[in-house]
Structure 1
Amino acid sequence: MVNAFDPAGAAALDDSRRDMVERRARLLGPGYKLFYDEPVHFVRAQGVHLYDADGKEYLDVYNNVPSVGHCHPRVVEAVSRQLGVLNTHTRYLHDSILQYSEQLLATLPAEIGHVMYTCTGSEASDLAMRITRHVTGGTGFIVTANAYHGHTIAVSQASPSMGEHVPLGVHTRVVPAPDAYRTEGDLGAVFAGQVEAAIADLRRHGIRFAGFIADSLFSSDGILPGPAGFLKPVAEVVRKHGGLYIADEVQPGFARTGDAMWGFQRHGVTPDLVTMGKPMGNGIPIGGVAARPELLEDFGRNTRYFNTFGGSPVCIAAAQAVLDVIRDEKLQENSRIVGRAMLDGIQAMAEKHAAIGDVRGAGLFVGVDFVKDRATREPDAALGLRVVNRLREKRVLISASGKEGNVLKIRPPLPFSLADNDRFLGLLAETLAELA
């Protein structure tokens, strides 16, 4: 895992954190990872700030799950109120799920008319793949080189970023990440050609093509937002060969890009299925799959699907509050304005630091691509990790992305302000100067 704490370093921690690390290992086992060379112990959060056990404030430039800000009072109030009234499954009639679904679907293209609820983005991806297999009769899926779509058995087999010890499915094909910085020629045409070649390879091995899954910002591949529109030829190739286009909007969705409510909208694409997850409920577990109604006709009649907590009144209350806050506090516009200022500020830094090969982003999702040499564009993962950990020392929370881990992953909660951005840019400039 990029930016993972090495347990061998526990001896260097203070007594309190060393004890917690040791207890985690004893009680939770080795599967749970921590961030940073020195893990942080947080006790509370508010807005775009977290506070450690000593009361020190940290600026959050990483966490998209509390999309409208940590502990947003409207989300807290809505969840608390609903928890004191009713919380049950979706096999009873309840108004709130209908009201929310109407409003959610109104933000999506008119062709997408149904939504099914899950607890997590992983479950949403799993359900989307089930629907795709049922509709197409195929089993072959195409994903990008370092994609992450979830951790169920089925979805982990289509998530190369899980690492070499989590084998890809025999019906999964991987195409290179659409990296405009390292690709010659028209990116849309090149990428569509790679997808078409993968479909041909599936066919050559007797595997029927089912669908293509893409995070619309390619977050795990190194944050690859553009140029806007390059995914349109890919969608055309997918449909030409009878497959479905699944837009993974867990990270790009809910106003993150600033340009639109959903990441795929920047590309002029109307997906067949849209998956949602973590930011949807500001940390309350809710996800979903929105779909073209015709895809669910036979699936809904003949395939049993039920989720005890997906779409429960408490989860819907959280999701409704998030949607209301995005609208009322104009967070999409904030994402566009602050994201542009952030991009401009880091691009200005790139003129002074040759180690910054590329700066790219959409709204409040920005990537800084560190390289060893601008001519060769060879990734510099070591520098990326040093920047992440030096910023943590300055009480700025951030991480890295990309197969090599050389891309600074900047993804703060949506209320991140211009003042927050100025503070972040100042500390980032200071860090780069120190590490030059």
Structure 2
Amino acid sequence: MWSRKRFDIDYIDLIYGLGAALTVGNSQRQGLQNELEDWWISDSTGEAIACLSVRSGWDLLLQALQLPPGSEVAMSALTIPDMVTIVRHHGLVPVPIDLDPMTMAPDPASLDRAIGPQTRVIIIAHLFGGRVNLEPILAARDRVGAILVEDCAQAFTPGFRGHPDADVSCFSFGNIKFATALGGALLRVRDPQLGDCLRQIQSTYPVQDSGHYTRRLLKYLGLKTLSSRPGFTALIWGCRRLGIDYDRLLNQSVKGFPKDELIPRLRHQPWETLLALLRRRLQGYTEERLAAQTHRGQRLIQLLQDYCPQILVPGVATLPHVHWVVPILAQDPEMAIATLANAGFDSTQGNSMTVVNPPETHLEWEPRNAREIFKHLLYLPCYPAMDDTTLVSMAQALRPIFSPSVSEFLRMGSP
């Protein structure tokens, strides 16, 4: 069985992290953070801030802005649930911006509708490895005097630090991201004064628990082994024998903080071992490593279009695109998952994203495209270890069950 995802980290990096846990002291933490931030911003402008996660950085930013309660935050309609939870925690109103299925960029009509006099922040997510054209959003920002934040968690490439005119650009190096350090994030903040404010707030936080991060390193040593084809096959066999839902088990193994503990857990400074491992991962990460994943994604999409001509891959028209994941829309995702599993491929709908609901005062702003995408979304396994023969087999397995009705609706764009 081919696993749904392989972690973008080598055994040597995990061992380095465990070694750093024993040898890097707290007295080195600030120096590590300064070095990492200086390196990150060396070819860009503004301020760099290393955080525990993008969610931590998002919470920091909303604290620093001190927006009046009831202010509106216009958001990409498909995002991770915690980003919406944080907006509401600060007494703000999330407003969804519906998406064009072919580019996963904001739909122009929905963008105009979502951004108005009460909009104080706009946050746009680059989804699935594609990079949204921000020019229309920058124009909307300038029109209302808002702050533009770009969430680049799924769009990391070496040398890319975000759009130079975005006010804040956020990069995540969490468990399943490119160049993962099993945590950590870097923010580029265009306004140095705002950057200083974020840094000052974060300096009041306690440092991340050392034992928690060490346990994470040990856990992912095991999970990396289980994500290999023999390891994953053995895991599935064992789960089936014991009556365990392996999809739920896998999702729980990489999930974030419990919802009721979210804000307190986010408000920590990154531990020195995390900073040391993140520095190692980023400074040693090559274009060639990313190119291998990009090539596999492009090849799989080509094969899907050959064997299932009507298939829709959300965001396929966005360039540049590194294919962090390869999503498709399936009429019946559960049937597709079962069919692919019988063919030896583990796929998933995942549970890491959500659709942003419209404000109660404007239910007509329902993001219909995003809702339809989310309902039918299915992630396929795709990484460099999968050769052409393997990708052809997966595309062939999908051919008899694919229905064009979903893509026909979405190709029409927003109603």
Question: Shorter-chain-normalised TM-score: which range?
Answer: 0.5 to 0.7
Aligned pair partner of 2:145 in 236, 242, 245 = 242
Query: 1:405 corresponds to which residue?
Result: 375
Q: Structure 1's 59 and 270: CA in aligned 2 closer, same or farther, altered over 3 A?
A: farther
- 8 Å CA contact 2:88, 2:94 repeated in 1: no
Query: 2:2 corresponds to which residue?
Result: 59
Query: 1:95 corresponds to which residue?
Result: 31
Query: 2:185 corresponds to which residue?
Result: 287
Q: Structure 1's 93 and 140: CA in aligned 2 closer, same or farther, altered over 3 A?
A: same
Query: 1:433 corresponds to which residue?
Result: 400
CA–CA distance in structure 2, aligned partners of residues 97 and 197 of structure 1: 41
Using the TM superposition, give the Cα deviation of residue 123 of structure 1 relative to its aligned residue in structure 2, in angstroms. 1.9
Please give the secondary structure, in 2, of the residue aligned with 1:400.
coil
Aligned pair partner of 1:105 in 34, 41, 53 = 41
Structure 1 unaligned runs (5+)? 1-57, 159-168, 371-379
Structure 2 unaligned runs (5+)? 209-268, 351-369, 404-415
Q: Structure 1's 78 and 304: CA in aligned 2 closer, same or farther, altered over 3 A?
A: closer
Using the TM superposition, give the Cα deviation of residue 254 of structure 1 relative to its aligned residue in structure 2, in angstroms. 4.3
Q: Structure 1's 94 and 304: CA in aligned 2 closer, same or farther, altered over 3 A?
A: closer
Please give the secondary structure, in 2, of the residue aligned with 1:114.
strand
CA–CA distance in structure 1, aligned partners of residues 180 and 380 of structure 2: 18
CA–CA distance in structure 2, aligned partners of residues 315 and 246 of structure 1: 24
Using the TM superposition, give the Cα deviation of residue 157 of structure 1 relative to its aligned residue in structure 2, in angstroms. 6.6
Using the TM superposition, give the Cα deviation of residue 212 of structure 1 relative to its aligned residue in structure 2, in angstroms. 0.8
- 8 Å CA contact 1:143, 1:212 repeated in 2: yes
Larger relative contact order (C-alpha < 8 A, sep ≥ 6)? 2
User: CA offsets per residue over residues 255-296 of structure 1, 9 Å max, x none?
Assistant: 6xxxx746x55xxx6321122331376352323433122322
TM-score (norm 1): 0.61
Decide which structure has greater helix share. Answer: 2
Query: 1:79 corresponds to which residue?
Result: 17
User: CA offsets per residue over residues 172-210 of structure 1, 9 Å max, x none?
Assistant: 21221233489xxxx77x52x53333232xx3xxxx422
Query: 1:172 corresponds to which residue?
Result: 94
- 8 Å CA contact 1:398, 1:410 repeated in 2: yes
Using the TM superposition, give the Cα deviation of residue 239 of structure 1 relative to its aligned residue in structure 2, in angstroms. 2.7
Query: Is 1:209 aligned to residue 119 of structure 2?
Result: yes
Aligned AA for 2:58?
S
Query: 1:272 corresponds to which residue?
Result: 167
Query: 1:344 corresponds to which residue?
Result: 302
Query: Is 1:154 aligned to residue 86 of structure 2?
Result: yes
Using the TM superposition, give the Cα deviation of residue 421 of structure 1 relative to its aligned residue in structure 2, in angstroms. 5.2
User: CA offsets per residue over residues 278-317 of structure 1, 9 Å max, x none?
Assistant: 1376352323433122322455568864251233221012
Please give the secondary structure, in 1, of the residue aligned with 2:375.
coil
Please give the secondary structure, in 1, of the residue aligned with 2:78.
coil
Number of residue pairs the alignment of both structures matches = 313
CA–CA distance in structure 2, aligned partners of residues 194 and 151 of structure 1: 20
- 8 Å CA contact 1:142, 1:175 repeated in 2: yes
CA–CA distance in structure 1, aligned partners of residues 341 and 65 of structure 2: 42
Between the aligned residues of both structures, percent identity stands at 9
Q: Structure 1's 276 and 430: CA in aligned 2 closer, same or farther, altered over 3 A?
A: same
Aligned pair partner of 1:232 in 112, 127, 135 = 135
Deviating beyond 6 angstroms after TM superposition, the runs of 4 or more aligned structure 1 residues are none
- 8 Å CA contact 2:314, 2:329 repeated in 1: yes
CA–CA distance in structure 1, aligned partners of residues 344 and 402 of structure 2: 17
